[in-house]
Amino acid sequence: MLQIGICDDETLLLSEIKNLTEDCLQQQQTFCILSTYTDGRNLLYDIQDGKHFDLLLLDIEMPDLSGMELAKQIHHLLPNALMIFVTAHYKYAVDAYALHIFRYIPKNQLKERIPHALKDAVSLLEIQNTDSYIISNQNRLERIPLKEIFYIEKEGKNAVFHTAIAESSENQSPDDKTARTRRIRKTLTEIFEELHSEEFYFIERGYIVNLRHVSGISRTDCILTDQTRLPVSQSRLPEFKKELNRYWQNKI
């Protein structure tokens, strides 16, 4: 089930976008949970508290926290969430493109543009969500979408998954990075074979990285989009650079 958030400080426009979204998704027979906000700060607070969204429709022109600034912070917390900008001013289109926004919709064309945007977004999300890894042990049975896995590291006889999804726990804060980890008793080699995805790469004996979340390589370190640095084996560094470059080129 998709989690969709809508944020607009104008209550009438917010209601219109919500109704259009519900109608479109019902016609597509897509099940979702819709959450609406009139203040971008409240949306951001919920995300910081661990709430997950697959898709967000954001107004750009909002007081206190603009949609542009909100999108930057959301992208840091939910790098794989799709975002659609809704605005009355075309001047924001260039900035929206620079932020890798999924779609840009003028407010005077909501009825014409929202159905197409939602159809494309849902299609993309369905493709992404079909790829996942099942974590199963005595205490847990959980499906983790591959796109949400940043990297996997060896820890003794365990493999630790570092993800973008916070684990629900009364004893942990979602801001704590340990809340976003999962442990299973398997070797990295076993997991690498089970992942069966070209997006993952063995950068070192103790680390498997998701190329989707790599922002660059600095000397012997692999730098992730959340600024995490992981060591890269010298013997694997040249091939890793080639593989990363190939991956980026295919995504352009």
* Domain stops at, among 73, 104, 130: 130
Same domain, 178 and 101: no
**pLDDT band for position 144 (50/70/90)?**
confident
Same domain, 108 and 21: yes
194 shares a domain with 122: no
Residue 106 has pLDDT above 50, yes or no: yes
Closest by CA position to 203, among listed 180, 227, 223, 185: 223
**CATH (domain of 35):** 3.40.50.2300
What pLDDT is recorded for position 170? 41
Range of the domain at 89: 2-130
- Of the candidates 87, 115, 130, which is a domain's last residue? 130
Percent of the chain with pLDDT over 70: 87
What is residue 99's predicted lDDT score, i.e. its pLDDT? 59
- When mean pLDDT is compared across 42-51, 60-69, 219-228, the lowest value belongs to 60-69
Could you tell me which residues are beta bridge partners of residue 208? 152, 202
Dihedral sign computed on CA atoms, order 141, 146, 151, 152: positive
Residues 189 and 115 in one domain: no
- Residue ending a domain, among 107, 130, 153, is 130
Whether residues 102 and 218 fall in one domain: no
Q: Output the domain CATH number for residue 145.
A: 2.40.50.1020
Strands of the chain, DSSP E: 2-7, 32-37, 55-59, 82-87, 103-106, 132-136, 141-145, 149-155, 158-163, 181-184, 200-204, 207-210, 214-218, 221-224, 229-231
pLDDT the model gives residue 30: 87
Answer yes or no: do 86 and 160 share one domain. no
How many distinct structural domains can be found in the chain?
2
pLDDT for the residue 172: 43
User: Do residue 37 and residue 124 come from a single domain?
Assistant: yes
Which pair of tokens denotes residue 109? 């064309």
Query: Do residues 13 and 112 share a domain?
Result: yes
pLDDT at 110 over 80: yes
Q: Which of 47-51, 94-98, 135-139, 169-173 tops mean pLDDT?
A: 47-51
Residue 73 and residue 48 share a domain: yes
Per-residue confidence (pLDDT) for residue 242, from 0 to 100: 94
Check whether residue 136 and residue 125 sit in a common domain.
Answer: no
> Is residue 240 located within the same domain as residue 186?
yes
pLDDT: which is higher, 87 or 127: 87
> Looking at the structure, do residues 84 and 116 belong to the same domain, yes or no?
yes
pLDDT in tens, 155-195: 999 999 999 877 644 444 444 455 689 999 999 999 999 88
Residue 43, pLDDT score: 94
pLDDT of 240 strictly over 50:
yes
How sure is the predictor about 52, in pLDDT bands with cuts at 50, 70 and 90? confident
Rounded Cα distance between 247 and 141, Å, is 31
> In which band, very low, low, confident or very high, does the pLDDT at 31 lie, cut at 50, 70 and 90?
confident
**In this predicted structure, what is the pLDDT of residue 69?**
86
